[in-house]
Amino acid sequence: MVQGLNQEKWPRPWYRILYAPWRMKYIAGSERTSGCVFCEAPKHNDKEALIVYRGELSYVILNKYPYNSGHVMVVPYRHVPTLEDLRLPELAEMGLLVKASMRALRKAYNPHGFNIGVNVGEAAGAGIAGHVHIHILPRWRGDTNFTVIFSATKVLPEALQDTYEKLKKLVPEAVSEVAREEGIEWGTSS
Ligand SMILES: [Zn+2]
Protein backbone atom coordinates (compact mmCIF):
# COMPACT_ATOMS: atom_id res chain seq x y z
CA MET A 1 0.00 0.00 0.00
CA VAL A 2 1.05 3.55 -0.62
CA GLN A 3 1.91 5.22 2.66
CA GLY A 4 2.04 8.75 1.37
CA LEU A 5 3.14 10.41 -1.80
CA ASN A 6 4.45 13.79 -2.68
CA GLN A 7 1.37 15.96 -2.36
CA GLU A 8 2.20 18.25 -5.28
CA LYS A 9 2.82 15.37 -7.61
CA TRP A 10 0.11 13.09 -6.35
CA PRO A 11 -3.05 14.65 -4.92
CA ARG A 12 -3.85 11.74 -2.75
CA PRO A 13 -6.87 12.95 -0.72
CA TRP A 14 -8.57 13.99 -3.94
CA TYR A 15 -7.99 10.80 -5.88
CA ARG A 16 -8.84 8.66 -2.89
CA ILE A 17 -12.39 9.92 -3.10
CA LEU A 18 -12.68 9.51 -6.83
CA TYR A 19 -10.85 6.28 -7.40
CA ALA A 20 -11.20 4.08 -4.35
CA PRO A 21 -11.94 0.80 -6.10
CA TRP A 22 -14.27 -0.51 -3.39
CA ARG A 23 -16.30 2.67 -3.79
CA MET A 24 -16.45 2.30 -7.55
CA LYS A 25 -17.66 -1.25 -7.17
CA TYR A 26 -20.38 -0.06 -4.84
CA ILE A 27 -21.47 2.64 -7.27
CA ALA A 28 -21.33 0.43 -10.33
CA GLY A 29 -23.11 -2.49 -8.68
CA SER A 30 -21.79 -6.01 -8.71
CA GLU A 31 -23.60 -7.19 -11.86
CA ARG A 32 -21.54 -5.20 -14.29
CA THR A 33 -18.24 -6.71 -13.21
CA SER A 34 -19.33 -10.17 -12.12
CA GLY A 35 -17.53 -12.92 -13.95
CA CYS A 36 -14.61 -10.67 -14.84
CA VAL A 37 -11.39 -12.47 -13.89
CA PHE A 38 -9.57 -9.21 -13.20
CA CYS A 39 -12.30 -8.03 -10.83
CA GLU A 40 -12.45 -11.46 -9.17
CA ALA A 41 -8.71 -12.07 -8.70
CA PRO A 42 -8.10 -9.45 -5.98
CA LYS A 43 -10.89 -10.97 -3.87
CA HIS A 44 -8.80 -14.12 -3.44
CA ASN A 45 -5.56 -14.54 -1.55
CA ASP A 46 -2.38 -13.70 -3.41
CA LYS A 47 -1.13 -17.24 -3.91
CA GLU A 48 -4.45 -18.53 -5.14
CA ALA A 49 -4.88 -15.59 -7.52
CA LEU A 50 -1.17 -15.49 -8.49
CA ILE A 51 -1.00 -11.84 -7.47
CA VAL A 52 2.61 -10.81 -6.87
CA TYR A 53 1.94 -7.22 -5.86
CA ARG A 54 -1.04 -5.13 -4.74
CA GLY A 55 -0.77 -1.39 -5.18
CA GLU A 56 -3.39 1.11 -4.17
CA LEU A 57 -4.99 1.48 -7.60
CA SER A 58 -3.61 -1.48 -9.52
CA TYR A 59 -1.96 -4.86 -9.06
CA VAL A 60 0.52 -7.23 -10.72
CA ILE A 61 -0.62 -10.76 -11.54
CA LEU A 62 0.91 -13.74 -13.32
CA ASN A 63 -0.78 -14.83 -16.50
CA LYS A 64 -2.17 -18.33 -15.83
CA TYR A 65 -1.69 -19.11 -19.50
CA PRO A 66 1.68 -17.48 -20.14
CA TYR A 67 3.01 -16.89 -23.65
CA ASN A 68 6.44 -17.25 -22.11
CA SER A 69 7.93 -17.74 -18.64
CA GLY A 70 7.52 -14.70 -16.44
CA HIS A 71 4.52 -13.30 -18.34
CA VAL A 72 2.86 -10.85 -15.95
CA MET A 73 0.12 -8.25 -16.26
CA VAL A 74 -0.45 -4.91 -14.57
CA VAL A 75 -4.16 -4.44 -13.95
CA PRO A 76 -6.18 -1.55 -12.51
CA TYR A 77 -8.75 -2.47 -9.85
CA ARG A 78 -11.38 -0.52 -11.76
CA HIS A 79 -13.31 -2.36 -14.43
CA VAL A 80 -12.76 -0.16 -17.48
CA PRO A 81 -12.16 -1.34 -21.04
CA THR A 82 -9.49 1.03 -22.29
CA LEU A 83 -6.51 3.10 -21.20
CA GLU A 84 -8.43 6.28 -22.05
CA ASP A 85 -10.80 5.55 -19.17
CA LEU A 86 -7.97 5.47 -16.64
CA ARG A 87 -7.17 8.58 -14.65
CA LEU A 88 -3.65 9.89 -14.36
CA PRO A 89 -3.01 8.59 -10.82
CA GLU A 90 -3.94 5.11 -12.04
CA LEU A 91 -1.68 5.40 -15.07
CA ALA A 92 1.13 6.75 -12.91
CA GLU A 93 0.94 3.83 -10.51
CA MET A 94 0.65 1.33 -13.34
CA GLY A 95 3.73 2.91 -14.93
CA LEU A 96 5.62 2.39 -11.71
CA LEU A 97 4.47 -1.22 -11.54
CA VAL A 98 5.51 -1.83 -15.17
CA LYS A 99 8.96 -0.47 -14.40
CA ALA A 100 9.28 -2.51 -11.21
CA SER A 101 8.03 -5.68 -12.91
CA MET A 102 10.60 -5.31 -15.68
CA ARG A 103 13.31 -4.86 -13.09
CA ALA A 104 12.15 -7.96 -11.20
CA LEU A 105 11.93 -10.02 -14.39
CA ARG A 106 15.44 -9.01 -15.45
CA LYS A 107 16.72 -10.16 -12.09
CA ALA A 108 14.79 -13.44 -12.12
CA TYR A 109 15.14 -14.47 -15.77
CA ASN A 110 17.75 -12.31 -17.44
CA PRO A 111 15.64 -11.82 -20.60
CA HIS A 112 17.15 -10.29 -23.74
CA GLY A 113 14.11 -8.14 -24.34
CA PHE A 114 10.44 -7.57 -23.56
CA ASN A 115 7.12 -7.23 -25.31
CA ILE A 116 4.95 -4.77 -23.43
CA GLY A 117 1.52 -4.10 -24.74
CA VAL A 118 -2.16 -3.50 -24.35
CA ASN A 119 -4.87 -4.99 -26.54
CA VAL A 120 -7.84 -2.64 -26.53
CA GLY A 121 -11.03 -4.26 -27.77
CA GLU A 122 -11.78 -7.75 -29.02
CA ALA A 123 -10.88 -6.69 -32.56
CA ALA A 124 -7.35 -6.01 -31.31
CA GLY A 125 -7.10 -9.41 -29.65
CA ALA A 126 -8.05 -8.58 -26.08
CA GLY A 127 -8.96 -11.80 -24.30
CA ILE A 128 -10.75 -9.92 -21.55
CA ALA A 129 -11.89 -6.84 -23.41
CA GLY A 130 -13.93 -5.32 -20.58
CA HIS A 131 -11.03 -4.81 -18.20
CA VAL A 132 -7.89 -3.19 -19.57
CA HIS A 133 -4.50 -4.70 -18.63
CA ILE A 134 -0.85 -4.23 -19.60
CA HIS A 135 1.05 -7.36 -20.65
CA ILE A 136 4.72 -7.63 -19.77
CA LEU A 137 6.36 -10.51 -21.57
CA PRO A 138 10.06 -11.32 -21.25
CA ARG A 139 11.75 -12.43 -24.47
CA TRP A 140 14.96 -14.28 -25.28
CA ARG A 141 16.92 -14.38 -28.49
CA GLY A 142 15.97 -17.57 -30.23
CA ASP A 143 12.61 -17.95 -28.56
CA THR A 144 9.87 -18.26 -31.07
CA ASN A 145 7.47 -15.58 -32.29
CA PHE A 146 4.42 -14.42 -30.43
CA THR A 147 1.88 -16.43 -32.42
CA VAL A 148 3.75 -19.68 -32.14
CA ILE A 149 4.32 -19.22 -28.44
CA PHE A 150 0.64 -18.49 -28.04
CA SER A 151 -0.62 -21.56 -29.88
CA ALA A 152 1.97 -23.83 -28.26
CA THR A 153 1.25 -22.72 -24.71
CA LYS A 154 1.38 -25.48 -22.18
CA VAL A 155 1.18 -24.66 -18.51
CA LEU A 156 2.92 -26.72 -15.91
CA PRO A 157 1.47 -25.79 -12.53
CA GLU A 158 4.84 -26.38 -10.85
CA ALA A 159 6.58 -24.00 -13.21
CA LEU A 160 3.91 -21.37 -12.65
CA GLN A 161 4.24 -21.84 -8.90
CA ASP A 162 8.02 -21.40 -9.16
CA THR A 163 7.50 -18.19 -11.10
CA TYR A 164 5.07 -17.03 -8.46
CA GLU A 165 7.50 -17.67 -5.59
CA LYS A 166 10.29 -15.79 -7.35
CA LEU A 167 8.24 -12.79 -8.39
CA LYS A 168 6.30 -12.57 -5.12
CA LYS A 169 9.64 -11.66 -3.57
CA LEU A 170 11.28 -9.71 -6.39
CA VAL A 171 8.40 -7.48 -7.57
CA PRO A 172 7.68 -5.89 -4.14
CA GLU A 173 11.43 -5.39 -3.70
CA ALA A 174 11.65 -3.68 -7.08
CA VAL A 175 8.62 -1.49 -6.29
CA SER A 176 10.30 -0.32 -3.08
CA GLU A 177 13.54 0.34 -4.94
CA VAL A 178 11.88 2.36 -7.69
CA ALA A 179 9.80 4.31 -5.17
CA ARG A 180 12.94 5.08 -3.18
CA GLU A 181 14.73 6.29 -6.29
CA GLU A 182 11.78 8.52 -7.12
CA GLY A 183 11.59 9.88 -3.59
CA ILE A 184 8.15 8.41 -3.02
CA GLU A 185 7.34 6.86 0.34
CA TRP A 186 5.90 3.47 -0.39
CA GLY A 187 4.85 0.70 1.95
CA THR A 188 5.06 -3.02 1.50
CA SER A 189 2.65 -5.07 -0.51
CA SER A 190 -0.33 -6.14 1.56
ZN1 LIG B 1 -13.23 -6.33 -14.35
The enclosing domain of 116 has a CATH number of 3.30.428.10
- The total number of structural domains that make up the chain: 1
Distance from the CA of 110 to the center of ligand 1, in angstroms?
A: 32
Cα–Cα distance for residue pair 120/115, rounded to 1 Å:
16
C-alpha of residue 17 to centroid of ligand 1, in Å: 20
pLDDT band at 113 (very low <50, low <70, confident <90, very high): very high
> What is the pLDDT at residue 144?
65
| Distance in angstroms (rounded) separating the CA atoms of residues 50 and 24 | 23
How sure is the predictor about 158, in pLDDT bands with cuts at 50, 70 and 90? low
Q: Which of 7-11, 33-37, 92-96, 142-146 has the highest mean pLDDT?
A: 92-96
Q: Is residue 5 predicted with pLDDT exceeding 80?
A: no
User: Which residues are tagged catalytic?
Assistant: 133
Parent domain of 56 = 2-186
What average pLDDT does the segment 163-177 reach? 97
CA–CA distance from 182 to each of 88, 109, 185 (Å)?
Answer: 17, 25, 9
Average pLDDT of the residues in 173-179 = 96
CB contact set of 170 (below 8 Å; sequence gap of 6+): 104, 107, 108
CA–CA distances in Å: residue 147 to residues 66, 112, 113: 12, 19, 17
**Quick count: other Cβ atoms within 10 Å of Cβ 133?**
20
Q: Ligand 1 centre from 129 Cα, in Å?
A: 9
pLDDT greater than 70 at residue 107: yes
If pLDDT is split at 50, 70 and 90, which confidence band does 68 have? confident
Lowest mean pLDDT, pick from 13-22, 87-96, 154-163: 13-22
pLDDT score, position 70 = 92
Binned at pLDDT 50, 70 and 90, residue 135 comes out as: very high
User: Tell me, what's the pLDDT at 145?
Assistant: 54
pTM for this model (two decimals): 0.77
Q: Which of 6, 3, 1 is nearest to 183 (CA)?
A: 6
Cα of 77 from ligand 1 centre, angstroms:
7
Average pLDDT for residues 159-186, to the nearest whole number? 93
CA 96 to chain CA centroid, nearest Å: 10
